[in-house]
Chains A and B, each alone.
Chain A
Amino acid sequence: MFPELNNLLNTTPDRAEQGKLTLLCDAKTDGSFLVHHFLSFYLKANCKVCFVALIQSFSHYNIVGQKLGVNLTMARERGQLVFLEGLKSAVDVFFQAQEKPHPLQFLREASAGNLKPLFEFVRDALKPVDSGAAGWTYPVLLVDDLSVLLSLGLGAVAVLDFIHYCRATVCWELKGNVVVLVHDSGDVEDEENDILLNGLSHQSHLILRAEGLATGFCRDVHGQLRILWRRPSQSTSQRDQSLTYQYKIQDRSVSFFAKGMSPAVL
């Protein structure tokens, strides 16, 4: 996790809020550093994490995780991390006969499917185990990312329904958190992606939006991060708060600074 981002979000692994949906989106840049941040954040917070990783392999996340101070292999072995490696297990849909539907069963269906098997996988992974040996704090679902599900043939409403059920189970019933990444197509007209992004924005408590700079690529400033807090639970008189920072990604950390205040410029 990145300590500077924790400061901006005013949170630490010990006292993070529960029952929240966090939406990560990126436009014209790569927002995966946010996924790595939250993965290591919640592992350090001693949460039970279910990671639906559809984009990269396990070893990729493991290598980055080690730079951030978490060991995914050990977390998986001791049962703290349930990892669905989309790239590998997508093949199992076709070549392994299984009794109950595979989480990515929709890949086999010709007509528009739904993500009920994936939801059942998540629910079974995160439901509290009665043995009580481990004692994890609260469950967390992490998805990287949802836009690829649209590319695989699902409709935006099917993905929204999946997140709805995850919210109902993980956030409301189990008092955990859900963090999802969606790409913003930006100039490219993609109606389904826009419906997905806007629909999730309305349901989210926190939106982190990584944008590339309007002027293009820069060596010292990699992009801009917009933070929007929505639906404050305490009082409705407090309007939604929005902050903007620029950032630079380094080998083991990300540094944030106010707009125009990059150390390279000053």
Chain B
Amino acid sequence: MTLSEGARAGTRKLEMLDSLLALGGLVLLRDSVEWEGRSLLKALVKKSALCGEQVHILGCEVSEEEFREGFDSDINNRLVYHDFFRDPLNWSKTGEALPGGPLGALRAMCKRTDLGPVTIALDSLSWLLLHLPCATLCQTLHAVSYQDSCPPGDGSPVGKVHVLGLLHEELHGPGPMGALSSLAQTEVTLGGTMGQASARILCRRPQQHPTDQTQWFSILPDFSLHLQEGPSKEFQPQSDPHIPLVDPMAHLTFNLHLSKKEREARDSLTLPFQFSSEKQEALLRPRPSQATSHIFYEPDAYDDLDQEDPDDDLDI
């Protein structure tokens, strides 16, 4: 790779995570069993933390240790982890569970007092959608995501709010998925082929056409993103060299081949319904009456002779 290509690849590397975090609002990360999205979520969390934003994690699906694994200590110090993994439904009744559950924690983030940019990572939005009514969740997400559009009275600028929601596609029907989709500013659908992951990014910028692009990428162990070119287009399924090519016409009891004379005779044959100029001449030439064929018809006794021509109404 030349220097200029490397530089462009470097700028492109920043662009994917930057473009996902450029708009405020809700970013949906849609993953599946085969192509998981938690590592991309962690890459975005790391990027936000490195940009100096305050990062809140609503952890419902994995333990805090597992989520923090792979981050170095300066990033971990910036993460505020709300643990809903150990006892989300308050079954242990020890009083340690955070009051109000995950919904209460989300609503509390609507009323934050400091106004810097903040990133809220929901791990996962699917868990919330399975446990909360869809309408309540959508209203709360809307309230959290669009805080910056209602500035406080003193005119101080409000920092952007990013809400990153990890959504497992197979778990929800088209109704809730559509509702969350319409709330989201950016939608990333994870997929891939032949061992390489791809992200289809749909961005809805205000007053602009939505953009749709696909990026091939891989995530490194330290949760930084590495853009890739995509699977090689020259890839073709190689024919198995171990299978010898067999001539299927080798051992037949009948002859499929044509000799040269037979081939010439076949090529010079005119087809019966092909309208060539010779045929046209033959038809237009007045025919001698003897050459025509006669049809002798003797009607039966009980035959019903209808003089009216049934084809009269056809315009031939």
Which residues of A are in contact with B by a Cβ distance under 8 Å?
Answer: 114, 116, 119, 157, 160-161, 164-165, 168, 172, 194-195, 198-199, 201-203, 207, 230-231, 233-237, 239-240
Report Cα–Cα, A11/B84, bound state, in Å: 32
Report Cα–Cα, A209/B223, bound state, in Å: 30
**A168–B171 contact, CB under 8 A?**
no
Write the chain B residue with the least CB distance to A234: B221
What are 6 A-B contacts defined by CB distance under 8 Å? A157-B130, A168-B63, A195-B130, A233-B69, A236-B223, A240-B34
B residues less than 8 Å from A198 (CB atoms): 33, 168, 170-171
Of the 9-residue stretches B2-10, B86-94, B304-312, which lies at the interface with chain A? Answer: B86-94
**B39–A236 contact, CB under 8 A?**
yes
Write the chain B residue with the least CB distance to A231: B36
**A160–B130 contact, CB under 8 A?**
yes
B residues less than 8 Å from A235 (CB atoms): 221
- Give residues 206-251 of B contacting A (CB, 8 Å): 218-221, 223
Q: How far is the CB of A115 from chain B (nearest CB, A)?
A: 10
**A168–B33 contact, CB under 8 A?**
no
Chain B at the A interface: SS class? loop
Q: How far is the CB of A157 from chain B (nearest CB, A)?
A: 5
**A230–B86 contact, CB under 8 A?**
no
Q: How far is the CB of B77 from chain A (nearest CB, A)?
A: 22
Is residue B68 within 8 Å, beta carbon to beta carbon, of the partner chain?
A: no
Q: How far is the CB of A162 from chain B (nearest CB, A)?
A: 10
Q: How far is the CB of B244 from chain A (nearest CB, A)?
A: 19
Report Cα–Cα, A239/B36, bound state, in Å: 10
**A172–B171 contact, CB under 8 A?**
no
Is residue B197 within 8 Å, beta carbon to beta carbon, of the partner chain?
A: yes
Report Cα–Cα, A114/B88, bound state, in Å: 14
**A168–B87 contact, CB under 8 A?**
yes
A residues less than 8 Å from B279 (CB atoms): none
Report Cα–Cα, A153/B204, bound state, in Å: 42
Is residue B153 within 8 Å, beta carbon to beta carbon, of the partner chain?
A: no
Write the chain B residue with the least CB distance to A164: B88
B residues less than 8 Å from A160 (CB atoms): 130
- Give residues 85-135 of B contacting A (CB, 8 Å): 85-89, 91, 126, 130-131
A residues less than 8 Å from B89 (CB atoms): 114, 161, 165
Q: How far is the CB of B76 from chain A (nearest CB, A)?
A: 17
A residues less than 8 Å from B33 (CB atoms): 198, 201-202, 207, 230
Interface magnitude class on chain B? 20 to 34
Is residue B148 within 8 Å, beta carbon to beta carbon, of the partner chain?
A: no
A residues less than 8 Å from B66 (CB atoms): 172
Selected contact of B197 from candidates A202, A230, A234, A239, CB within 8 Å: A239
**B86–A168 contact, CB under 8 A?**
yes
Q: How far is the CB of B168 from chain A (nearest CB, A)?
A: 5
Other 8 A-B pairs with CB < 8 A, given A168-B87, A230-B33: A157-B130, A164-B88, A172-B65, A201-B33, A203-B61, A236-B223, A237-B219, A237-B221
Selected contact of A119 from candidates B88, B91, B168, CB within 8 Å: B91
Lowest 4 A-B CB distances belong to which pairs?
A: A198-B170, A201-B33, A235-B221, A236-B39
**A194–B170 contact, CB under 8 A?**
yes
Write the chain A residue with the least CB distance to B220: A237
Selected contact of B168 from candidates A116, A199, A239, CB within 8 Å: A199
A residues less than 8 Å from B36 (CB atoms): 202, 230-231, 240
Q: How far is the CB of A52 from chain B (nearest CB, A)?
A: 17
**B131–A157 contact, CB under 8 A?**
yes
B residues less than 8 Å from A202 (CB atoms): 33, 36, 61, 126, 168, 171
Q: How far is the CB of B84 from chain A (nearest CB, A)?
A: 10
**A236–B221 contact, CB under 8 A?**
yes
**A199–B39 contact, CB under 8 A?**
no
Is residue B52 within 8 Å, beta carbon to beta carbon, of the partner chain?
A: no
Which residue, A114, A119, A168, has most C-beta atoms of chain B within 10 A? A168
B residues less than 8 Å from A172 (CB atoms): 63, 65-66, 85-86
Write the chain A residue with the least CB distance to B131: A157
Write the chain B residue with the least CB distance to A196: B171
Is residue B195 within 8 Å, beta carbon to beta carbon, of the partner chain?
A: yes
Q: How far is the CB of B205 from chain A (nearest CB, A)?
A: 30
**B197–A165 contact, CB under 8 A?**
no
Is residue B70 within 8 Å, beta carbon to beta carbon, of the partner chain?
A: yes
Report Cα–Cα, A240/B130, bound state, in Å: 26
Q: How far is the CB of A139 from chain B (nearest CB, A)?
A: 17
Write the chain B residue with the least CB distance to A156: B130
Selected contact of B70 from candidates A194, A199, A236, CB within 8 Å: A236
Report Cα–Cα, A264/B310, bound state, in Å: 70
Q: How far is the CB of B282 from chain A (nearest CB, A)?
A: 60
Report Cα–Cα, A148/B57, bound state, in Å: 35
Report Cα–Cα, A111/B273, bound state, in Å: 78
Write the chain A residue with the least CB distance to B87: A168
Report Cα–Cα, A201/B70, bound state, in Å: 23
Q: How far is the CB of B68 from chain A (nearest CB, A)?
A: 13
**B170–A116 contact, CB under 8 A?**
no
Which residue, A201, A207, A231, A236, has most C-beta atoms of chain B within 10 A? A236
Report Cα–Cα, A195/B176, bound state, in Å: 14
A residues less than 8 Å from B85 (CB atoms): 168, 172
B residues less than 8 Å from A233 (CB atoms): 69
Report Cα–Cα, A168/B89, bound state, in Å: 12
B residues less than 8 Å from A119 (CB atoms): 91
A residues less than 8 Å from B223 (CB atoms): 236
